Structure 1
Amino acid sequence: MVTGVTSLGLVRDELFATMEQAEHSLEQFIAERQNGSLLQQAVEAMHQVRGTLTLIELTGAELLAQELLDQATDIPAGAGEERDVQLAALSNALYVLRRYLENLDLHRQEMPELLLPAINDLRQAGGQPPLPESYFFSVRLDQPRQGKAATQLPEGTDPNALARRFRQAYQQGLLGFLRGQKVPSALRTMERALGGLERIFADEPRGRLCWIAAAATESQRDGQLLARKARKQLFSRLDRELKLLLASGTYEAPRSLLKELLYLVALADSQGPRAIELREVFGMTALPFTDQLLEQEYQRLSGPGQAVMRSLSSAIFEELNSVKDVIDLIERGTAPAESFATLHSLLAKLAKTLVMVGLNSPGNALQAQLPMVAAWRAESPVESGELLKLADAVLYVESMVAGLDSGERRGSRLEAEPGRESESFANHQLAEARIVVLDEAQAGIALAKRAITAYLESNGEKPHLANVPVSLQAVRGGLWFLGQERAAALVGACGDYIQRQMLETSLMPSEQMLETLADALTSLEYYLEGGAGMRRGFQSDVLDLAANSVRALGLPVAA
C-alpha cells in the first residue's frame, strides 16, 4: 500500500472540505459559546481529519490533528474568557494544518518539523510540556567514541577545582547568550569551557556529555542557528546537568538531552572540527532543511492562504499588463507624451508592492530600471537596447509572480542577479515546460488505464486499445526529455506489452496479467503525481513497485 504524501491526492478534496467544516464550526462556537452543538460538530470533523491522516500515515500532520482533538474535547460548552488562549491556539493550529497540507499537496515534500510550533502552542494552552525540537529526528545514541584519552594535568592540579572553574566560565558565556549580548563570543566561551571539561573527563562516562555539548555549541555558533527560546532553555538545562556531572563520577547524561544536542549538530551542518567528528561517529547526514528555511516556511504557513495570494497575484498581473501596454506604445512610437510619466509611476508602485509581499529580487529589478525610464522623453526616441532591458525585467517579474497563485515557495526559484533577468525568465519557461510534459504524461497513462478497463469489460475488443501504444510511447519520450530514463523505460515496456500481447495476438491475456499491467501503470501514475521524483521527500520506491510489475509481465527491466 502506498501511503504518506503520495496518497494525499486520493483524499484531498474530502479532507480539505472536512477541515473547512471544522474551522467554520469552531469560529461559530467562539462567537456563540453556549451552543454546544457547534463545538460538537467541530470535534467530529477533527476526529474525521485525524482518522484520515492516520490512514495515509502523515506523521506530523497526524500528531497535530491528535493534539487538536485532545484540546477541543477538553473545552466545555459555555466556555468563558479563561478558555480564550486555548480556543485561539485551536483556531491557529487548524489554519496551520490546512496550509501545511495545501503545500504538501503541491510540493510533495514532508517537513513535519514545521508543525512543532503549532503543536507546542496547543500543548502549552492545555498545560502540557512542549515537545522538543528533535521530536522528529532519529539518531543512534549509543555510538562509542574511539581513542580519546583525558589530558594529563600538571602535577598538583586539582581536577575537580579546575572543572568547577570551567563550569563558571560556561555560566559566564551562557549569561551573554541568554541576554543576546555578543552572542558569537559568548558561544565561543561556552564551547571552550565544555572542551576543557571534555579533556578532564574524557576517560569517564560523564565526559560524553561534555564532548557532545561542545560540538553542539560549536554548531550553534558556526551554523548561525537562531537563538530560539527552546535553545536557550536547552543550554540552561545543560548548566544544571553540569552541576550534577561535577558532583558524581558515575554521572550519565539523559538520553533526551543528548538527542537534543545532536539535533543541533545535524541541523547546523557545521564544518567545525567537533561537528565533523560527531557526524562521523554517529553517522549523521545533513538534514534536508536549514534553520533559516524552517523559520521562513513556518512564517509562510502562518501567513495568507492561497485564496489571498491568488487575489494578490491577479492584481499584480493587471498592473504588469498596464506596464506592457505602455511599453508597446513606446516601442511603436505612438505613445502620448504623458505615457512616460505614467510608466515611471506604474513601475515605482509595482516595485514597492513586490517588496512588501516579500518578492525582493523582482522588486529590486524594477527599481533598478527607474532612473533609466525617468530619463525617457516623448521628443526623443527610446533606444531599443533600453526597451529590451526593461522588457527583460518585466518578464522576470512576471515569471516570479506566477508562482504566487499556485502556492510556490518563494525560495524555490533562484533569484536573478541584476542584469540577468532574461536568463531567469528562460529558466522559468523551462520549468513551466517540464510541468506541461508531466501533466501530459499523467494524462497519457490515465488514458491507457481507461482503455484497458474498456478492453476488459468488452471481453477483449481491440479497438479500445488502438491508440494506447502510441500514447504511451509519447509519454516515454516526454520522460526521456525530463531525464527520467528509468520511468521512461518502464512506460515503454507497458506499451510494448499492450502492442504484442493484446493487439497482435488473438488470445486475451489472463485477468491476473491485466491486473499486473494495471498495477504497473498505477505505480507510474503515482510517481508522476509526485513530480517524477524531482522533489525531495518523495517515495522513490514507487518505481520499484512498477518495475516488479513489469518483470511479472515477463519483460526485461534494467537495474
Structure 2
Amino acid sequence: MSRIKLPDIAVKGEVEAVIGGVAKDLEVYFDNTEEKEVIKSCIERVHQVGGSLRLLEIKGGEVLAEEIENLLKAILSGSSLESQNVSELLVGALLFIPKYFDFAINHKQDIPLLVLSTVNLLRRSYGKGILTEHLFFGFTYDGDIESYPVNKLNTYSDVGFRAKRLRHMFQVGLLGVLQGGAIQTHVKSMYRAIVRLRKITGDVPFARIWDLGAILLEIIGERRLQPDSSIKSLLGAIDRQIKLVCDFGVGIGEKCPSRDIVSALLYYIIKSGVDNEKITTIKELYDINSDLSLYSEAELDEQRVKLNAPDKKVLKRVSEEILEKLAAIKDGLDQLDRIGDIADEEVSFIRDGIINVIATLSLLELNYASEIMKEIDSFVCKRLGQQDPHGEIMSVVADKIVVVEMAVNNYASGFDNGEGELIAESNYNDAKRLVVKEARINLDKIKNTIEGYMDSYMDAEQIADMPLLLDEVKGALFMLDFNKAAEIIAKCSRYVKEGVIYSRIHPKDVDIDTLTDALVGIEWYLESFEQYDRADSGLLDVASESIDELVG
C-alpha cells in the first residue's frame, strides 16, 4: 500500500475521456480487424494514460495500463492469443482503470494487489506467465543466496538416496494438504521431511529454502496462515527443489536455490504477522524492514468490497423491480403448468418479462444470474413446443428461478436505510458461491467414496453412485461456465463407468491415485475462485494431464 498524489479534476477527467475513447475505438476495430491504425492509436493513448498514472504514483492503474498496452501490441503483431474473448477482456480491463482511479483518489491509497487477477488474465491471454502475489507486491529478496553464513557441507555421501526417501514423505504430506483433509497432520509430515533434509544437506545455500520452508510450515501448522492456492503452489515448488537434491546428490552444495522461492517464502512468513524469535532472526539475517506493511486476505477482501461498490440507492429500487418481475413470470409459468396451454398474449407477457430481466441483470453485471435467465427462456420455449406430462421441464425452470431470486436477494441484502453507503457488486454474489460450495461438497463425497472403495478391497458397490455425483459436479461446472473443468470431470465419470464399473476390472493403485489427483486439481481450481472470485485455468493443467493418462 502507498499514499498517492491527489490529481486535479482535469487530470481525472482526461484519463476517463481517453479510456472511453479507446474502448469505443476497440469496438470499431473488432468489427473490422483490418484497421491496424486503430490499434496503433489505442496503444499510444493507453501509453499516455499509463504515464499519467505513473506521475500520480498510482501503481495499480499503471501496471494495468501497461498490460493492456502489451496485449494490444500482441494483437497488432498478429501473435497467437490464448483467450477467445479478447475484446471483452480488453474493454473490461480498460473500464477498470477509471474505477481503480476513483478508488485510489477517494481512499487516498494505492493497493496494486486489487488489480492482480485482472493483470494475470491479460498476461495469460498473450502467453505470459502469471505474476505471483509476492512479485506483484514488489517483494524480491536481492541479497546473497549463493552462500550460507557457515557454508559447511554435510558429511553424508548418500545425500541423493536419503533425499528420495524424504521427498516421498514430503509428497505424501503435500498431497494431503492439496486434498484439504487433516491439514495439521500432513504439515507435520512435511515439516519433519524438510528438517531432515536440512540435516543431510548441511549449511549449503539450499539450506535457506529448508530453514524458511520449515518456519512457513510451522506457521501453517499453528493455523496462523491458511494454505490457499498460492501457498499450495509454493509448497509444490519446494517439492521440485527437493527433486534437485535427489538429482545432484552431494553436488547440491554447489547449486543456488531459486531466488523466487526464497522471496516467496520470506513474503508469506512476514505476511502471516507471526512475531517470534525465529522470525526476528530471519528478518535480521535477510535485512527485512520490520515496518513492511502487507495486507491479510481479510483486509484485501474488505478493500475489494470498497473497490467494487456502486451507489446503493438506485440499485435497491432496481433489485426490487427485478423481484416483482420474477414473481409475475412465476405466476404466468404456474398458469402454463396447470392449464397446459395459454393465450398468445400471456406467452408474450412471459417472454417479454424474461427478456427484460435478462437485460436488467446484465446491466447490473449480475452475469451469472443473467445466464440462468437465458437458460430459463430456452426451457420455456421448449415447454411451449411440447407437452410436459411429468412436469420435468417446469420443475427445472422453477429451480432456476429460485437461484436467480437468491442472487438478486443477496445483491439487495447489502442495502440499508443510510444515505450514500456502498454495496458489493455481483462479483461477490453468494448464489454463484453456493454452486461452487455444492460442487466442492460433492467432490468431498467422491473422494470419500474412493476411500471406501479401496478399504473394501475394490467392492464395485462402493462406487455405484460415483458417476451420478460426478455428473452433478459436471453440471455445476457447466452452469458456472467452467467448461474445461467440466470436461475433465466428464472424463473422470467416463473412466469410472467404463474403465471400472462396466469392465469389472480392478484398477491399479496408481490409476486410483491418478484419478484422485485429477479431482484434487478441480478442487484446487474451485478454491481459487472462492478466494479470488476468478478461477485460474492454469490450475487445471495437472488435472487435465492426470485424467488424460487414464482415458487418453
2:255 is aligned with 1:251: yes
The SS at the match of 1:270 is coil
The answer for the alignment partner of 1:187 in structure 2 is 187
Instruction: Select which of 292, 295, 300 maps to 1:294.
Output: 300
- Letter aligned with residue 51 of structure 2: G
With over 3 angstroms needed to count, the CA separation of the structure-2 counterparts of 1:157 and 1:55, relative to structure 1, is closer
With over 3 angstroms needed to count, the CA separation of the structure-2 counterparts of 1:33 and 1:24, relative to structure 1, is same
The SS at the match of 1:74 is helix
CA distance in 1, matches of 2:114, 2:196: 36
| 1:143-162 aligned within 5 A | 161-162=161-162
RMSD: 4.4
CA distance in 1, matches of 2:36, 2:168: 56
CA distance in 2, matches of 1:187, 1:8: 52
The answer for the alignment partner of 2:139 in structure 1 is 138
The answer for the alignment partner of 1:242 in structure 2 is 242
With over 3 angstroms needed to count, the CA separation of the structure-2 counterparts of 1:158 and 1:45, relative to structure 1, is closer
Pairwise CA distance, 1:294: 2.7
Pairwise CA distance, 1:116: 2.0
The SS at the match of 2:422 is coil
Pairwise CA distance, 1:197: 2.1
The answer for the alignment partner of 1:263 in structure 2 is 267
Unpaired runs of at least 5, structure 1:
319-351, 363-396, 411-559
Q: Is the 8 A contact 1:170 1:193 kept in 2?
A: yes
- Letter aligned with residue 311 of structure 1: V
CA distance in 1, matches of 2:138, 2:195: 25
Pairwise CA distance, 1:24: 2.9
With over 3 angstroms needed to count, the CA separation of the structure-2 counterparts of 1:26 and 1:278, relative to structure 1, is same
CA distance in 2, matches of 1:168, 1:150: 26
With over 3 angstroms needed to count, the CA separation of the structure-2 counterparts of 1:292 and 1:186, relative to structure 1, is farther
Q: Is the 8 A contact 1:19 1:94 kept in 2?
A: yes
Pairwise CA distance, 1:95: 3.0
With over 3 angstroms needed to count, the CA separation of the structure-2 counterparts of 1:274 and 1:99, relative to structure 1, is farther
Deviations 1:234-288 (A, max 9, x none): 2222211112135222232121221111111122223576545434544344634
CA distance in 1, matches of 2:220, 2:96: 28
- Letter aligned with residue 137 of structure 1: G
The answer for the alignment partner of 2:198 in structure 1 is 198
Pairwise CA distance, 1:77: 10
2:314 is aligned with 1:311: yes
CA distance in 2, matches of 1:184, 1:92: 41
Pairwise CA distance, 1:187: 2.9
Q: Is the 8 A contact 1:267 1:290 kept in 2?
A: yes
Deviations 1:274-307 (A, max 9, x none): 5454345443446341123335545765x5x636
- Letter aligned with residue 297 of structure 2: D
Unpaired runs of at least 5, structure 2:
322-405, 429-552
CA distance in 2, matches of 1:44, 1:358: 41
Q: Is the 8 A contact 2:319 2:412 kept in 1?
A: no
Pairwise CA distance, 1:101: 1.4
Equivalent residue pairs, number? 333
The answer for the alignment partner of 1:540 in structure 2 is none
CA distance in 2, matches of 1:188, 1:109: 40
Pairwise CA distance, 1:210: 0.3
Q: Is the 8 A contact 2:151 2:205 kept in 1?
A: no
- Letter aligned with residue 356 of structure 1: N
| 1:379-528 aligned within 5 A | 397-399=416-418, 402-404=420-422
The answer for the alignment partner of 1:223 in structure 2 is 224
With over 3 angstroms needed to count, the CA separation of the structure-2 counterparts of 1:285 and 1:182, relative to structure 1, is farther
CA distance in 1, matches of 2:227, 2:103: 24
CA distance in 2, matches of 1:203, 1:35: 61
Quote the sequence identity (%).
23
The answer for the alignment partner of 2:402 in structure 1 is none
Deviations 1:297-331 (A, max 9, x none): 45765x5x636x4522676999xxxxxxxxxxxxx
Q: Is the 8 A contact 2:67 2:119 kept in 1?
A: yes
- Letter aligned with residue 293 of structure 1: E
CA distance in 2, matches of 1:78, 1:194: 47
With over 3 angstroms needed to count, the CA separation of the structure-2 counterparts of 1:406 and 1:252, relative to structure 1, is closer
With over 3 angstroms needed to count, the CA separation of the structure-2 counterparts of 1:314 and 1:119, relative to structure 1, is same
Pairwise CA distance, 1:127: 0.7
The answer for the alignment partner of 2:92 in structure 1 is 92
With over 3 angstroms needed to count, the CA separation of the structure-2 counterparts of 1:105 and 1:149, relative to structure 1, is same
The answer for the alignment partner of 1:356 in structure 2 is 410
CA distance in 2, matches of 1:299, 1:190: 36
Q: Is the 8 A contact 2:148 2:205 kept in 1?
A: no
- Letter aligned with residue 312 of structure 1: L
Q: Is the 8 A contact 1:16 1:98 kept in 2?
A: yes
Q: Is the 8 A contact 1:177 1:186 kept in 2?
A: yes
Q: Is the 8 A contact 2:208 2:262 kept in 1?
A: no
- Letter aligned with residue 261 of structure 2: L
Q: Is the 8 A contact 1:245 1:251 kept in 2?
A: no
CA distance in 2, matches of 1:223, 1:287: 17
- Letter aligned with residue 402 of structure 1: G
With over 3 angstroms needed to count, the CA separation of the structure-2 counterparts of 1:82 and 1:275, relative to structure 1, is closer
The SS at the match of 1:6 is coil
With over 3 angstroms needed to count, the CA separation of the structure-2 counterparts of 1:163 and 1:269, relative to structure 1, is same
Deviations 1:327-363 (A, max 9, x none): xxxxxxxxxxxxxxxxxxxxxxxxx999713866x8x
CA distance in 1, matches of 2:192, 2:291: 25
Deviations 1:426-483 (A, max 9, x none): xxxxxxxxxxxxxxxxxxxxxxxxxxxxxxxxxxxxxxxxxxxxxxxxxxxxxxxxxx
With over 3 angstroms needed to count, the CA separation of the structure-2 counterparts of 1:255 and 1:214, relative to structure 1, is same
The answer for the alignment partner of 1:114 in structure 2 is 114
